[in-house]
Amino acid sequence: MSTLLDVDNLWVKFPTRNGIFDAVRGVSFSLGRERLGIVGESGSGKSLTGRAILRLIRNPGIVEAGHISLHGENLLDKSEKDMRAIRGEKISMVMQDPKFSLNPVMTVGDQIIEAYRLHAKASKSEAYKKSVEMLEAVAIRDPKRVMKAYPHEMSGGMGQRIMIAMMLIPNPEILIADEPTSALDVSVQGQVLSIMDKLVKDRGMGLLFISHDLNLVSQFCDRVLIMYSGRIVEVCDADKLHEAQHPYTKGLLGSLPKFDEPSDRLQVLTRDPAWRDAPSVEGRA
Protein backbone atom coordinates (compact mmCIF):
# COMPACT_ATOMS: atom_id res chain seq x y z
CA MET A 1 0.00 0.00 0.00
CA SER A 2 1.47 3.37 -0.94
CA THR A 3 1.20 5.61 2.10
CA LEU A 4 -0.26 9.10 1.72
CA LEU A 5 -0.53 10.00 5.37
CA ASP A 6 1.27 8.63 8.39
CA VAL A 7 0.22 9.56 11.90
CA ASP A 8 2.62 8.63 14.67
CA ASN A 9 1.77 8.76 18.37
CA LEU A 10 -0.82 11.54 18.22
CA TRP A 11 -2.02 13.09 21.47
CA VAL A 12 -4.66 15.82 21.88
CA LYS A 13 -4.83 17.36 25.34
CA PHE A 14 -7.05 19.98 26.97
CA PRO A 15 -6.17 21.76 30.21
CA THR A 16 -9.10 21.58 32.65
CA ARG A 17 -9.60 22.72 36.25
CA ASN A 18 -8.81 19.15 37.33
CA GLY A 19 -5.63 18.84 35.29
CA ILE A 20 -4.90 17.79 31.72
CA PHE A 21 -7.60 15.80 29.89
CA ASP A 22 -6.08 13.49 27.27
CA ALA A 23 -8.79 13.28 24.60
CA VAL A 24 -6.62 11.45 22.03
CA ARG A 25 -3.91 9.16 23.42
CA GLY A 26 -1.10 7.88 21.28
CA VAL A 27 -2.95 7.24 18.03
CA SER A 28 -0.82 5.83 15.16
CA PHE A 29 -1.97 4.77 11.71
CA SER A 30 -1.21 5.06 8.01
CA LEU A 31 -3.63 5.95 5.24
CA GLY A 32 -3.12 4.82 1.67
CA ARG A 33 -5.34 5.13 -1.39
CA GLU A 34 -8.14 3.38 0.46
CA ARG A 35 -11.29 3.86 2.51
CA LEU A 36 -10.19 3.78 6.14
CA GLY A 37 -12.98 3.93 8.71
CA ILE A 38 -12.70 5.22 12.28
CA VAL A 39 -15.46 4.01 14.57
CA GLY A 40 -16.09 4.32 18.27
CA GLU A 41 -18.75 5.65 20.59
CA SER A 42 -19.39 9.36 21.12
CA GLY A 43 -16.42 11.04 22.79
CA SER A 44 -13.87 8.39 21.80
CA GLY A 45 -11.72 10.97 19.98
CA LYS A 46 -12.62 10.32 16.33
CA SER A 47 -13.35 13.91 15.30
CA LEU A 48 -10.39 15.32 17.23
CA THR A 49 -8.10 12.89 15.40
CA GLY A 50 -9.38 14.21 12.05
CA ARG A 51 -9.12 17.86 13.11
CA ALA A 52 -5.64 17.39 14.58
CA ILE A 53 -4.36 16.08 11.23
CA LEU A 54 -5.39 19.39 9.65
CA ARG A 55 -4.07 21.33 12.65
CA LEU A 56 -7.57 22.60 13.40
CA ILE A 57 -7.45 22.11 17.18
CA ARG A 58 -8.00 25.51 18.75
CA ASN A 59 -6.41 26.94 21.86
CA PRO A 60 -6.16 25.84 24.64
CA GLY A 61 -6.04 22.38 23.02
CA ILE A 62 -2.53 20.93 22.68
CA VAL A 63 -1.49 18.58 19.86
CA GLU A 64 1.61 16.42 20.23
CA ALA A 65 2.83 13.72 17.88
CA GLY A 66 5.99 12.02 16.68
CA HIS A 67 4.86 13.15 13.24
CA ILE A 68 1.81 13.68 11.05
CA SER A 69 3.39 13.16 7.65
CA LEU A 70 1.90 13.82 4.24
CA HIS A 71 4.14 12.20 1.59
CA GLY A 72 6.88 12.13 4.19
CA GLU A 73 6.60 15.86 5.07
CA ASN A 74 5.71 16.53 8.69
CA LEU A 75 2.65 18.79 8.87
CA LEU A 76 3.64 19.76 12.41
CA ASP A 77 6.65 21.60 10.98
CA LYS A 78 4.58 23.66 8.52
CA SER A 79 3.81 27.35 8.95
CA GLU A 80 0.18 28.41 9.26
CA LYS A 81 0.45 29.86 5.73
CA ASP A 82 1.61 26.48 4.35
CA MET A 83 -1.17 24.75 6.27
CA ARG A 84 -3.79 27.02 4.66
CA ALA A 85 -2.55 25.84 1.25
CA ILE A 86 -2.54 22.19 2.34
CA ARG A 87 -6.09 22.43 3.72
CA GLY A 88 -8.32 22.04 0.72
CA GLU A 89 -5.61 21.55 -1.91
CA LYS A 90 -4.17 18.36 -0.43
CA ILE A 91 -6.43 17.41 2.45
CA SER A 92 -10.10 18.38 2.68
CA MET A 93 -12.45 17.78 5.55
CA VAL A 94 -16.22 17.49 5.50
CA MET A 95 -17.44 18.35 8.97
CA GLN A 96 -20.25 16.73 10.89
CA ASP A 97 -22.65 19.66 10.68
CA PRO A 98 -22.80 21.61 7.42
CA LYS A 99 -24.60 24.53 9.10
CA PHE A 100 -21.38 25.54 10.82
CA SER A 101 -19.31 25.26 7.66
CA LEU A 102 -21.40 27.27 5.19
CA ASN A 103 -21.50 31.05 5.42
CA PRO A 104 -25.11 31.96 6.35
CA VAL A 105 -25.09 35.36 4.62
CA MET A 106 -23.80 34.22 1.21
CA THR A 107 -25.81 32.33 -1.38
CA VAL A 108 -24.79 28.73 -1.95
CA GLY A 109 -23.79 29.64 -5.52
CA ASP A 110 -21.50 32.50 -4.48
CA GLN A 111 -19.77 30.21 -1.96
CA ILE A 112 -19.14 27.44 -4.46
CA ILE A 113 -17.99 29.88 -7.15
CA GLU A 114 -15.62 31.52 -4.64
CA ALA A 115 -14.23 28.13 -3.62
CA TYR A 116 -13.78 27.14 -7.24
CA ARG A 117 -11.99 30.38 -8.22
CA LEU A 118 -9.70 30.05 -5.22
CA HIS A 119 -8.31 26.84 -6.70
CA ALA A 120 -8.67 27.24 -10.46
CA LYS A 121 -8.11 30.16 -12.79
CA ALA A 122 -11.58 30.62 -14.19
CA SER A 123 -13.92 33.40 -15.27
CA LYS A 124 -17.09 33.89 -13.24
CA SER A 125 -19.22 32.29 -15.95
CA GLU A 126 -16.91 29.23 -16.25
CA ALA A 127 -16.92 28.91 -12.45
CA TYR A 128 -20.74 29.13 -12.46
CA LYS A 129 -20.97 26.35 -15.05
CA LYS A 130 -18.54 24.13 -13.10
CA SER A 131 -20.39 24.81 -9.84
CA VAL A 132 -23.70 23.70 -11.36
CA GLU A 133 -21.96 20.53 -12.57
CA MET A 134 -20.58 19.92 -9.06
CA LEU A 135 -24.05 20.18 -7.57
CA GLU A 136 -25.38 17.76 -10.17
CA ALA A 137 -22.55 15.38 -9.30
CA VAL A 138 -23.72 15.24 -5.67
CA ALA A 139 -27.29 14.58 -6.78
CA ILE A 140 -28.75 18.04 -6.10
CA ARG A 141 -31.92 18.42 -8.11
CA ASP A 142 -32.52 21.80 -9.75
CA PRO A 143 -28.97 23.06 -9.11
CA LYS A 144 -29.60 26.47 -10.70
CA ARG A 145 -32.29 27.22 -8.13
CA VAL A 146 -30.06 25.95 -5.32
CA MET A 147 -27.23 28.25 -6.48
CA LYS A 148 -29.46 31.25 -5.62
CA ALA A 149 -30.53 29.92 -2.22
CA TYR A 150 -29.07 30.69 1.23
CA PRO A 151 -27.84 27.90 3.56
CA HIS A 152 -30.85 28.23 5.92
CA GLU A 153 -33.11 27.34 2.99
CA MET A 154 -31.38 23.97 2.56
CA SER A 155 -32.29 20.73 4.31
CA GLY A 156 -29.51 19.12 6.37
CA GLY A 157 -28.92 16.56 3.63
CA MET A 158 -28.63 19.20 0.92
CA GLY A 159 -26.23 21.23 3.03
CA GLN A 160 -24.09 18.15 3.55
CA ARG A 161 -23.96 17.37 -0.16
CA ILE A 162 -23.12 21.00 -0.96
CA MET A 163 -20.24 20.81 1.52
CA ILE A 164 -19.02 17.61 -0.11
CA ALA A 165 -19.19 19.28 -3.55
CA MET A 166 -17.14 22.22 -2.24
CA MET A 167 -14.56 20.00 -0.59
CA LEU A 168 -14.03 18.09 -3.82
CA ILE A 169 -13.47 21.16 -6.00
CA PRO A 170 -9.68 21.26 -5.49
CA ASN A 171 -9.40 17.53 -6.11
CA PRO A 172 -7.79 16.71 -2.74
CA GLU A 173 -5.53 13.70 -2.27
CA ILE A 174 -7.11 12.98 1.09
CA LEU A 175 -10.68 13.54 2.25
CA ILE A 176 -11.45 13.39 5.95
CA ALA A 177 -15.19 12.87 6.15
CA ASP A 178 -16.64 13.27 9.65
CA GLU A 179 -20.04 11.55 9.79
CA PRO A 180 -20.61 12.74 6.21
CA THR A 181 -23.85 10.88 5.67
CA SER A 182 -25.45 10.99 9.11
CA ALA A 183 -27.96 13.71 8.07
CA LEU A 184 -28.91 12.00 4.82
CA ASP A 185 -31.74 9.66 3.99
CA VAL A 186 -30.77 6.21 2.80
CA SER A 187 -30.99 6.83 -0.96
CA VAL A 188 -28.99 10.07 -0.80
CA GLN A 189 -26.53 8.39 1.58
CA GLY A 190 -25.95 5.76 -1.11
CA GLN A 191 -25.31 8.44 -3.74
CA VAL A 192 -22.82 10.29 -1.54
CA LEU A 193 -20.99 7.06 -0.65
CA SER A 194 -20.70 6.13 -4.30
CA ILE A 195 -19.23 9.57 -5.12
CA MET A 196 -16.55 9.04 -2.45
CA ASP A 197 -15.99 5.48 -3.56
CA LYS A 198 -15.39 6.60 -7.15
CA LEU A 199 -12.86 9.20 -5.98
CA VAL A 200 -10.89 6.50 -4.15
CA LYS A 201 -11.04 4.01 -7.01
CA ASP A 202 -10.67 6.35 -10.01
CA ARG A 203 -8.45 9.09 -8.64
CA GLY A 204 -6.61 7.21 -5.93
CA MET A 205 -7.83 9.50 -3.16
CA GLY A 206 -7.32 8.43 0.46
CA LEU A 207 -10.53 8.57 2.51
CA LEU A 208 -10.65 8.76 6.29
CA PHE A 209 -14.27 7.96 7.05
CA ILE A 210 -15.31 8.84 10.60
CA SER A 211 -18.55 7.24 11.70
CA HIS A 212 -20.36 5.66 14.62
CA ASP A 213 -22.24 3.37 12.23
CA LEU A 214 -20.47 -0.01 12.41
CA ASN A 215 -22.66 -1.66 9.82
CA LEU A 216 -22.09 1.12 7.32
CA VAL A 217 -18.33 1.13 7.90
CA SER A 218 -18.04 -2.63 7.62
CA GLN A 219 -19.80 -2.52 4.24
CA PHE A 220 -18.21 0.63 2.82
CA CYS A 221 -14.61 0.76 4.06
CA ASP A 222 -11.51 -1.34 3.38
CA ARG A 223 -10.07 -1.21 6.91
CA VAL A 224 -11.37 0.01 10.25
CA LEU A 225 -9.76 1.57 13.29
CA ILE A 226 -11.80 1.12 16.46
CA MET A 227 -11.32 3.90 19.00
CA TYR A 228 -12.10 3.74 22.67
CA SER A 229 -11.31 6.45 25.19
CA GLY A 230 -8.91 8.30 22.87
CA ARG A 231 -6.99 5.19 21.73
CA ILE A 232 -7.09 2.76 18.86
CA VAL A 233 -8.01 -0.52 20.55
CA GLU A 234 -8.33 -2.62 17.41
CA VAL A 235 -7.55 -2.51 13.70
CA CYS A 236 -9.18 -4.88 11.26
CA ASP A 237 -10.22 -5.39 7.68
CA ALA A 238 -13.72 -3.98 7.31
CA ASP A 239 -15.18 -7.22 6.01
CA LYS A 240 -13.79 -8.98 9.13
CA LEU A 241 -15.26 -6.45 11.57
CA HIS A 242 -17.88 -8.95 12.65
CA GLU A 243 -15.07 -11.30 13.71
CA ALA A 244 -13.39 -8.59 15.82
CA GLN A 245 -11.40 -9.76 18.86
CA HIS A 246 -11.41 -6.82 21.26
CA PRO A 247 -14.17 -7.01 23.90
CA TYR A 248 -15.05 -3.35 23.26
CA THR A 249 -15.54 -3.95 19.53
CA LYS A 250 -17.53 -7.07 20.35
CA GLY A 251 -19.61 -5.01 22.77
CA LEU A 252 -20.27 -2.34 20.14
CA LEU A 253 -21.32 -5.00 17.67
CA GLY A 254 -23.47 -6.69 20.30
CA SER A 255 -25.30 -3.46 21.09
CA LEU A 256 -26.49 -3.03 17.49
CA PRO A 257 -30.22 -3.68 17.28
CA LYS A 258 -31.00 -7.05 15.68
CA PHE A 259 -34.23 -6.84 13.76
CA ASP A 260 -34.24 -10.55 12.93
CA GLU A 261 -33.94 -11.43 16.64
CA PRO A 262 -36.27 -8.97 18.39
CA SER A 263 -35.67 -8.59 22.09
CA ASP A 264 -37.44 -6.50 24.70
CA ARG A 265 -34.13 -5.60 26.33
CA LEU A 266 -31.36 -3.48 24.86
CA GLN A 267 -27.84 -4.83 25.30
CA VAL A 268 -25.75 -2.79 27.71
CA LEU A 269 -22.19 -2.06 26.64
CA THR A 270 -20.01 -2.85 29.66
CA ARG A 271 -16.53 -1.38 29.84
CA ASP A 272 -13.41 -2.62 31.54
CA PRO A 273 -11.07 0.11 32.93
CA ALA A 274 -8.14 -2.07 31.76
CA TRP A 275 -9.06 -1.35 28.10
CA ARG A 276 -7.94 2.24 28.52
CA ASP A 277 -4.29 1.26 28.45
CA ALA A 278 -4.05 -2.29 27.11
CA PRO A 279 -2.20 -2.70 23.79
CA SER A 280 -4.39 -2.65 20.68
CA VAL A 281 -5.40 -5.81 18.84
CA GLU A 282 -3.35 -6.08 15.60
CA GLY A 283 -1.10 -3.21 16.73
CA ARG A 284 -0.40 -0.41 14.32
CA ALA A 285 -2.75 0.31 11.45
Q: State the virtual CA torsion across 215, 221, 222, 227 in degrees, nearest 10.
A: -70
What is each CA distance from 9 to 27, 228, 269, in whole angstroms? 5, 15, 28
Judged by beta carbon, residue 116 or residue 248, the one nearer ligand ATP is 248
Count of CB atoms situated within 10 Å of the CB of 60: 9
Instruction: Tell whether residue 44 is a contact of ligand ATP (CB under 6 A).
Output: yes
Instruction: Tell whether residue 26 is a contact of ligand ATP (CB under 6 A).
Output: no
Least Å from the CB of residue 227 to ligand ATP: 7
Size of the site for ligand ATP (CB under 6 A): 13
Least Å from the CB of residue 24 to ligand ATP: 7
Least Å from the CB of residue 230 to ligand ATP: 7
Judged by beta carbon, residue 45 or residue 109, the one nearer ligand ATP is 45
Amino acid at the residue 98: P
Instruction: Tell whether residue 111 is a contact of ligand ATP (CB under 6 A).
Output: no
Extract the runs of DSSP E, i.e. beta strands, from the chain: 5-16, 19-31, 35-39, 62-64, 67-70, 73-74, 91-94, 174-178, 206-210, 223-228, 231-237
Judged by beta carbon, residue 138 or residue 227, the one nearer ligand ATP is 227
Q: Which long-range contacts (CB under 8 A, 24 or more apart) does 119-125 make?
A: 119/88, 119/89, 119/169, 119/170, 120/169
Residue 128: phi and psi, rounded to 5, are -60, -45
Q: Which parts of 113-132 interact with ligand ATP (CB under 6 A)?
A: none
Least Å from the CB of residue 179 to ligand ATP: 7
Instruction: Tell whether residue 181 is a contact of ligand ATP (CB under 6 A).
Output: no
The residue within the footprint of ligand ATP, chosen from 4, 29, 30, 40 (CB under 6 A), is 40
Least Å from the CB of residue 42 to ligand ATP: 3
Instruction: Tell whether residue 61 is a contact of ligand ATP (CB under 6 A).
Output: yes
Site map (CB under 6 A) of ligand ATP, residues 184-223, x = contact? ----------------------------x-----------
Q: Which parts of 4-23 interact with ligand ATP (CB under 6 A)?
A: 14, 21, 23
Count of CB atoms situated within 10 Å of the CB of 102: 19
Least Å from the CB of residue 43 to ligand ATP: 4
Nearest CA-CA partner of 94 in 138, 140, 141: 138
CB 210 within 8 A of CB 225: no
The residue within the footprint of ligand ATP, chosen from 17, 18, 19, 42 (CB under 6 A), is 42
Strands 67-70 and 73-74: antiparallel
What is each CA distance from 211 to 5, 97, 226, in whole angstroms? 19, 13, 10
Least Å from the CB of residue 232 to ligand ATP: 12
Give me the residues that bind ligand ATP (CB under 6 A), please.
Answer: 14, 21, 23, 40, 42-48, 61, 212
